[in-house]
Amino acid sequence: MTGRNIIVSNRVPSDGPPSGGLVVALHDCLTERGGIWYGTSGDIVDTAGTSFRPIAGDGYEIRMFDLTQTEYEGYYLGYANSVLWPLCHRRADLMALQAGDFETYLGLNQRLARMMAAELRPDDQVWIHDYHFLPLAACLRAEGVTATLGYFHHIPFPAVHDLLALPEHDLFPDWISSFDLFGLQTQRDVAAALEMFRSTTGAEQLRDGSLQYHGRQFEVRSFPIGIDAASFAAEAALRDGRSLLNLAPDERLVIGVDRLDYSKGLDNRMRAFGGYLAARSEGDPRASLLQIAPPTREEVTAYQNIRNDLERISGEVNGLYSDLDWTPIRYIHRGIPRDTLASLYRAADVGLVTPFCDGMNLVAKEFVAAQDPHDPGVLILSQFAGAVEQMEAALIVNPYDIGEMAAALKTALAMSLEERRARHAKLIKGVMHDDIAHWTATYLDTMTRLAAGTQSKTADHLADKLLGQD
């Protein structure tokens, strides 16, 4: 018999029925099993509260809390999105270290821990999401909470030498070891986390693969996130995406879909598309790039120039190559309904997913799920997206190498039907099998095993190697 399932994420799903893979998956899991979802409401208040505002979820409870303006600026915009996000995306140079932000971030986690501690029971299984709450387990333990605490890091784990740029880097081992299960997207991330423990602490690796540090035993494992592949595939087939775009019959389509974030490599992608057009020879097809990039975190300074940069690059490429009846780059700066997005992926000949650094990248999986298996498009995927560990049948590129990406575009647009089908068949198998339901079930099963106090049966060999105990 297990205790209640509890989710903590930055925002609760408070605006009607949830949309989007992750929120839907967590919602479904709570609806099925019952439980509580804690997170911020999105409202700003004058004074920090001491208890939650409950609202009814669908078969579970939602308990929201409001941020003060100081917390919103210091915890959310500041330490989470202007320090930890760039740090974890290999952009320590973009960290905006502002006096007081760390204290506000920690203070918010301590306040949340106090409020949660009054409600948690020892047999609860708490699943905490993302870098907003890295210290939450340590704060909960300080409040005497003994429940099973799991965490999932949706973004990459920083390399040790990047981590050293964070003034508070020495707190990471205690924060992480206060969880029972520290989940990461990829083996690469697990390796980075273990390397941190190996090189900066006296953590011990036990026979079962778990780690022991400062008297606590915990596990660091990868759980590659997936999408709701079957429903996405069904949605994609409902409409003809090409007709939405008014494409000429012989016009080929390349698609990119990303939040407007510096980690997504949009500038180099547009340059690479320009490179493809520049090197195009007589027989090469005429292709358009549809780049959908809704704004995000516009209050964070590091995001303010991206939009201008992309408008300049797309303007340059269009200025050079447009014709009376053709605009090579269509750049859409807003969100698109999911069903439309699915049919646009399906209409595309190439999916261009070229982040400089990405935890997983769900767009790569959505693109594959949306394809017509009889006539599939080609996925071009950055070697720095977490998805690459599961999607080796894509055309893998280095997003810093614009020439290589331009050449990959040419290869993809000229690829035979036979090769496209063969690559897609390999990709879709993984996307369908390792879907979001599989991810949720695997993570929660691991939590349940840990809650039951059983030992891991599958020692992590990579971990053994890295900690020199192989």
Q: Which residues are catalytic?
A: 154, 358
Q: CA 367, 370, 373 angle in degrees (round to 5)?
A: 110
Helix axes 306-321 and 266-278, enclosed angle (nearest 10): 10
Q: How big is the site for ligand ADQ, counted in residues (CB under 6 A)?
A: 21
391 binds ligand ADQ (CB under 6 A): no
359 binds ligand ADQ (CB under 6 A): yes
Q: Which of 233, 306, 329, 362 binds ligand ADQ (CB under 6 A)?
A: 362
52/85 with CB nearer ligand ADQ: 85
CB 184 within 8 A of CB 145: no
Which one-letter DSSP state was computed for residue 159? P
- Rounded CA gap, 41 and 238, in Å? 34
* Span interacting with ligand ADQ, options 59-67, 100-108, 189-197, 362-370, rule CB under 6 A: 362-370
CB 53 within 8 A of CB 28: no
Q: Is the dihedral of CA 331, 335, 338, 339 positive or negative?
A: negative
20/34 with CB nearer ligand ADQ: 20
Closest CA to 277 of 263, 288, 268, 266: 288
Residues in the chain: 470
Closest CA to 256 of 176, 177, 345, 167: 345
376/386 with CB nearer ligand ADQ: 386
Task: Return the residues of window 333-352 that contact ligand ADQ according to CB under 6 A.
Answer: 335-336, 341
Q: Which of 73, 189, 267, 366 binds ligand ADQ (CB under 6 A)?
A: 366
What's the closest the beta carbon of residue 21 comes to ligand ADQ, in angstroms? 6
CB 299 within 8 A of CB 77: yes
Q: Which of 30, 106, 257, 350 binds ligand ADQ (CB under 6 A)?
A: 257
As given in the structure block, the two tokens for residue 24 are 């839907």
71/366 with CB nearer ligand ADQ: 366
Going residue by residue from 271 to 310, which x/- string records binding to ligand ADQ, judged by CB under 6 A? ---------------------x-x----------------
CB 300 within 8 A of CB 316: no
Closest CA to 285 of 355, 216, 378, 359: 378
228 binds ligand ADQ (CB under 6 A): no
149/293 with CB nearer ligand ADQ: 293
What's the closest the beta carbon of residue 39 comes to ligand ADQ, in angstroms? 15
20/122 with CB nearer ligand ADQ: 20
Task: Using CB atoms within 10 Å of the CB of residue 316, give its burial: 0 to 12 exposed, 13 to 18 middle, 19+ buried.
Answer: middle
What's the closest the beta carbon of residue 236 comes to ligand ADQ, in angstroms? 12
**Which spans of this chain sit near ligand ADQ (rule: CB under 6 A)?**
20-22, 154-155, 225, 257-259, 292, 294, 335-336, 341, 358-363, 366
